[in-house]
Structures are given as structure tokens and as C-alpha cells.
Structure 1
Amino acid sequence: MCAKTMYDKIKYLTATLLLISFVLLSIMIPGGAIETRSFTHIDPYILGSFNIFLTFLGMTSLLLTYFVIRKLKWAYFISIICAASYLSVYALDLAGIFPISPDQMPTGLFVIEIVGSIISIPLVYFSILGLSNNSNDNKPEVVNIHSKKFAFIALILIAVCVNIIIFATKSAMGN
């Protein structure tokens, strides 16, 4: 198999796994159909901080899909960190370590967290392959982002993230 073809497959597999991880995390937002547990006993600042982390993780994964496809070496490195974060978050919840709720974990949430954990393992693997195969022969494309366009997109993403964090924290607190 040609090295370029293999590298293209790696970048698309990595991007696809990042996108799937984003979707799985997104459908577990408190107050939705999947995450119905109450976390009213957890300090709102801790819960808010956790929701900031989860929102940042999800949005980073979504944005990384673009940069991985553009063959940017740093994107593969951050993909490894995201994959490890997904695995850690799911493992902590499945083990009943954090966040702890008096309510039983819904079956749908359990299944999604198992699937998310499983997906994070090949995500680490393909991210490492992408990082190691990103040699001088596979020079990354230059990403030109116009500052006004970038600022507009950044403002929209920030607004979306803030609303997600507020909604998720209020829903988890039972408000």
C-alpha cells in the first residue's frame, strides 16, 4: 500500500473517531434524554468546572477534525490528549468515582460510555500513527484563516459553549 494512501486513511480514521467522540459526548448533556441523573449535591462550582472541561473537550474534538484532515502535526498530538481525556472521564463515571449521583446510571448512558471508552483506544492509536507518519514527505497544508472570519467563528463557538455550560450545569443541578 502506498504511504500516501495509508496516511490519508489514518487522517480520515482519526477525524472520524474524533467526530464520533464529539457526538457521543454531546448527546450526554445533562437535561437531555440520556443523562437524567441528579447532581444537586455537588457544589455548583465543581459541577460548572466539570461542564466547562467537557464542553472544551467536545468542541476541541470537533475542531480537531478539520486540522487532522489538514495534516497538522499538532492536531494529532492534541487528539491523543482528547482520547485519553474521553477514556478517563468515562472510566471515572463507570467506576462510580466522579460524578457520583444518588440516581442509578441509565442504561443508554452506560452503553454510550462503554462505546465512547472503546472508541478512545483506536483514537489514541491512529493519532499516534498520524503523528509518527507526519514526516517531511507529508508536509502539512498551510491553513490560512482570515482574521475577521476566524473572529466571527470564534465568537459563535464561544457563545455556543457558554450556553451549553449554563444549560448543562443548571440541568444537572435540577434547575
Structure 2
Amino acid sequence: MTITIRHLVSALLVLSFGLLASLVPGGLIETRSLSHIDPLILGIFNTFLTSLVIVSLLIVYFIFKDLKWAFIVSGLCGISYFIVYALDLGTLFPVSPDPMPQALFVIEVLGMIVSLPLLFISVRGAMNSNKSSNDKVIASQPYSKTFVYFAFFLVVVGVGIITFATKSAMGS
């Protein structure tokens, strides 16, 4: 079996999803209190993080269709992952009075490392994708019902995660 750019980008997206998803506040790894941060700011931040992991999963569908825009979105996901981890590791945001747990530090470093090949391989995929497909033709095809149900399920779960993560980080 030949491993393609599509397979690599998809694997890196799923890995990035898993790394960030494991850091939900109130879970086993992210145990710091962020109760001093305005709830609105924390809610917006958690919405961004949850949207990032949902987009990371959903974009895999379009990566396998070899759509140029999907590779661009996956590259933007790579940049976003890098920035999120860099902000936390650089103690810029979110800053907590609690020390960073060792497991959190390790996962964030791994996430930062994974984000770089995700970005660069996504750019390569975007540059090569025109050779094998036409975005307009494939994008105009209807999505499978399974994809639509999966996307809806992820959004519903995402709202629950945002609520749980924000309440947990606030110490509620």
C-alpha cells in the first residue's frame, strides 16, 4: 500500500485531534484552575478549541477527496494547533496560578511537534491537489448522509464539551 500525502495529512489531523481532545479542562490531564479568567473569554477560547478539533476531523473527508481548499484548511489547523500550544507553553494564555502538570506539558510539546509536519505536508498537498481533482466538480457532489449525521453529532457533542470545559475551568 502506498502512503500518500492524503494519508499523512489525515493521520496528522486525527493525531492532532486526539492530543488536543485529551486536554479538556476537568479531565485527567488539564487540572489547572482558570477561574480568574473572564467566563466569556474562557467560553470563546473553549469554542475555538472545540471548533478546531471538530474541523480537524471533518476536513479528513475532504482531504480524501483531494480538494485543494481542504489542504489549505488543514494547514490552517496546523498553524492553529501550533499557536494554541505555543501560547500555553509560553505562559501567555491561559495563565493559571496552578503549575502545569507534567502530562499536560508533554502532550502540548508533542502537539506542537505534530503541528509542524501537518502544516508543511498540507501545503504540499495543496500544491499537488490540482493534478488529481477538480474542486468545483467534487465540491458540487452531495455529501453522504453518514457524513452529514457525523458532522451534526460532532457539533452537538462540541456544544456539550464547550459547556463542560468552561464550567470545569471556572471551578463550577
Aligned residue number for residue 51 of structure 1: 46
Q: Distance in 1 between matches of 2:90 and 2:115?
A: 17
Deviation at 1:56, TM superposition (A): 0.2
Amino acid at match of 2:35: T
- 1:79-118 to structure 2, matched below 5 A, reads 79-118=74-113
Amino acid at match of 1:132: M
Q: Distance in 2 between matches of 1:14 and 1:152?
A: 23
Q: Paired residue for 1:66, among 27, 47, 61?
A: 61
Q: Distance in 2 between matches of 1:19 and 1:98?
A: 24
Deviations 1:51-107 (A, max 9, x none): 000000000001111211121111100011110000000000000000000000000
- 1:143-162 to structure 2, matched below 5 A, reads 143-145=141-143, 152-162=149-159
Deviation at 1:149, TM superposition (A): 5.7
Normalised to the residue count of structure 1, the TM-score between the two structures is 0.90
Deviation at 1:158, TM superposition (A): 2.0
Distance change (3 Å), C-alpha of 1:161 and 1:82: same
Residue segments in structure 1 that go unaligned for 5+ positions in a row: none
**Identity across the alignment (%):** 51
Q: Paired residue for 1:75, among 48, 70, 75?
A: 70
Amino acid at match of 2:98: D
Q: Distance in 1 between matches of 2:129 and 2:152?
A: 31
Amino acid at match of 2:133: K
Q: Distance in 2 between matches of 1:152 and 1:129?
A: 30
- Tell me which moved more, 60-69 or 13-22: 60-69
Residue 134 of structure 1: SS of its match in structure 2? helix
Aligned residue number for residue 167 of structure 2: 170
Deviation at 1:128, TM superposition (A): 0.6
Aligned residue number for residue 133 of structure 2: 139
Q: Paired residue for 2:12, among 17, 40, 54?
A: 17
Deviation at 1:13, TM superposition (A): 0.3
Amino acid at match of 2:132: N
Normalised to the residue count of structure 2, the TM-score between the two structures is 0.91
Residue segments in structure 2 that go unaligned for 5+ positions in a row: none
Deviation at 1:113, TM superposition (A): 0.4
Distance change (3 Å), C-alpha of 1:37 and 1:126: same
